[in-house]
Amino acid sequence: MKEVKDFYDSWNPNNFPKYMKCIINFADKLIFEELKKLIKTIVNNENKDNKDFLVLDCGCGYGAFYNLTKDFNTIYLDISLNLLKKFKIKERKVCGNILNLPFKDNTFDLVLCINVLEHVDYLKSLNEIHRVLKNNGHLIVVVVNRDSLIKEEIFNDFKIFHKPLSYKDFEETNINFKIVYLSSLYYLPPIFKIFPPVFLKIILKYWKPLDKRLSKIFKNRGQFLVLNMVKE
């Protein structure tokens, strides 16, 4: 975990090459749209006011996905104090470790875990998340996919512990989670990163609808896996 913490303590997207900024922004938009639909479905099935719906954004970073959860009673946790300082909100931020969450058992209705589990001991992390979730609570996970068609070349530009996971890694755990939704996204070939940013932005604009089609043709083979799991 120290390697991960040190990496994010020095994280500064402003120093990234322009092509990387374009690609990260594109991936974040795909993830945001997918999760927005998932969360809406979950909340609509709950008979609760938004402010009574308790959410943990576990590994929130600097708040890239803040708009997904801003209307709920949400706590934002990250291991990096540097990233939390970059996060625009002032309250409800916690500097903590996913392997030892500082919350009581059966606390949250929903936990978000976006691009975190591939950097840590995912089984220990899932056990901790299971502990703090209420019975029948939901865990939404986004991870780098070991079965991806593009084999992670783009993201190897980052020097950080990184172990892609597959659907089977979640299906075969002994933790009492039931997978109720599975999808994948981001099928952009790595070759596009050689294009100048001005052309890359145009390519990404037109690639977005194609990415959605590819996700239906090559199921679960995108760069990112998205899972919705329910605590049993």
The encoded tokens of residue 229 equal 């799991």
Look at residue 72 in the predicted model and tell me its pLDDT. Answer: 97
- Provide the residue-wise pLDDT of the chain in tens; the chain has 232 residues: 667 777 776 777 777 888 888 888 999 999 999 999 999 999 999 888 888 999 999 999 999 999 999 999 999 999 999 999 999 999 999 999 999 999 999 999 999 999 999 999 999 999 999 999 999 999 999 999 999 998 755 555 666 678 899 999 999 999 999 999 999 999 998 888 888 989 999 999 999 999 999 999 998 999 999 999 999 9
Q: Sheet holding 133-144: strands in order across?
A: 93-95, 73-78, 54-58, 108-114, 133-144, 224-231, 177-185
Distance CA 108, CA 128 (A): 12
Domains: count for the chain: 1
The encoded tokens of residue 54 equal 């308790």
Q: Which residues of 50-89 are buried (b: 16+ CB within 10 A; e: fewer)?
A: eeebbbbbbbbbbbbbbebbeebbbbbbbbbebbbeebee
Distance CA 153, CA 134 (A): 38
Cα three-residue angle 119-3-176, rounded to 5 degrees: 30
Answer whether 70's CB lies under 8 Å from 51's CB. no
Distance CA 128, CA 151 (A): 29
CB 11: neighbour CB atoms within 10 A? 17
Sort strands 133-144 and 73-78 into parallel, antiparallel or unpaired: unpaired
The values of phi and psi at residue 178, to 5°, are -110, 125
* pTM, full prediction: 0.92
Instruction: Name the residue range of residue 150's domain.
Output: 2-231
Look at residue 159 in the predicted model and tell me its pLDDT. Answer: 66
- Which CATH number belongs to the domain containing residue 103 in this structure? 3.40.50.150
DSSP string, 105-146: TT-EEEEEEES-GGGS-HHHHHHHHHHHEEEEEEEEEEEEBT
CA 39: distance to chain centroid? Answer: 13
